[in-house]
Amino acid sequence: MTDYAVVVTGATGKTGQHVAAGAVARGWQVRSATRSAPPHGDWFPLDWDDESTWAPVFAGCDAAYVIIPFNHPGAAERTPRLMEVAASCGVRRIVLLSSLDVDSAEPDSPLRAAEAAVGRLPVRSAILRPTWFLDNFTTGSFRGMTQAGELRLPAGDGRIPQIDVRDVADVAVAALADGGPEGVLPLTGPEELDHHQVAAALSEGLGRRVTYTSVPVEEFVQVLTTHGFSREYGVFLGAALAEVAAGRLRIPVAGTVERVTGRPGRTALEFARHHASVTGHSPLRDDAGA
């Protein structure tokens, strides 16, 4: 193990767990900073709601991976302060997980505020701007739809180069290293896919039939609320997908993953096959309790 010490926030979440695993594999000291026990690294309890937990996490560390837990009320607004504390504790590199959505975000959005805050700090930094995650279909917001075998989204025939979070994490780990990439890093998958193609990749990779039907925004919001999400969150996602359907939100494939990692980003089929291999069964069988 080296002396290089990194903090990984969100280390129980979709990207953070892979960032922590990748950082451990590099031989770094890894502080996984979450409220619940993480799968990789040493657990340093951190709560966005409790500033007294912040400094002990960051003190003596070289670099930090910072996500913005948007689903936790007030956390996004507190993220600039969290990063200030990290810098004041001696952290020299911050890798912030932002989003490609920042381009269409309101001027006063927490996402823009967090990006601006990093730029003001006396640290080296990388801002990751990924497109939508493929993992939304297996472990994220659309998991219930994949389980039901039918993606009902208001995305029309619009195409998005969705990304495997392992690729986000691989770039994040590279950026946490001394001399790693800096600046704004747009992150996409290697191919623009419509949701018929995503459903086909899920079907083949998971070994289960998954179809796609384009539905009105209001129907999508209702489906999402039956899967336990708030109406507000459904309206937010529905509006973004409607932009994709209308062709107003176009995300070109970015070469960042290949440039940073030296290999192409993972395809949707590779993503689905990997998910099936690590879970040992498809999400549908999860539902059946098998």
Ligand X SMILES: NC(=O)c1ccc[n+]([C@@H]2O[C@H](COP(=O)([O-])OP(=O)(O)OC[C@H]3O[C@@H](n4cnc5c(N)ncnc54)[C@H](OP(=O)(O)O)[C@@H]3O)[C@@H](O)[C@H]2O)c1
- The residues binding ligand X (CB under 6 A) are 10-16, 34-36, 46-49, 67-70, 72, 75, 97, 99, 130, 132-133, 136, 140
CB contact at 8 A, 190 and 265: yes
The 3-class secondary structure across 91-146, one letter per residue, is CCEEEEECCHHHHHCCCCCHHHHHHHHHHHCCCEEEEEEECCEHHHHCCCCCHHHH
What is the distance between the alpha carbons of residues 1 and 24, in angstroms, rounded to a whole number?
Answer: 9
Q: How far is the CB of 12 from ligand X (least distance, A)?
A: 4
Q: How far is the CB of 51 from ligand X (least distance, A)?
A: 11
What is the distance between the alpha carbons of residues 192 and 249, in angstroms, rounded to a whole number?
Answer: 12
Q: Which is nearer to ligand X, 49 or 178 (CB)?
A: 49
What is the distance between the alpha carbons of residues 57 and 45, in angstroms, rounded to a whole number?
Answer: 8
Q: How far is the CB of 87 from ligand X (least distance, A)?
A: 18
Q: Nearest residue to ligand X, using CB?
A: 13
- Radius of gyration of the CA atoms of the chain, in A: 19
Q: Which is nearer to ligand X, 2 or 8 (CB)?
A: 8
Q: How far is the CB of 104 from ligand X (least distance, A)?
A: 13
Helical (H) or strand (E) element with 250: none
Q: How far is the CB of 3 from ligand X (least distance, A)?
A: 26
What is the distance between the alpha carbons of residues 175 and 169, in angstroms, rounded to a whole number?
Answer: 10
Q: Which is nearer to ligand X, 68 or 198 (CB)?
A: 68
Q: Which is nearer to ligand X, 160 or 210 (CB)?
A: 160
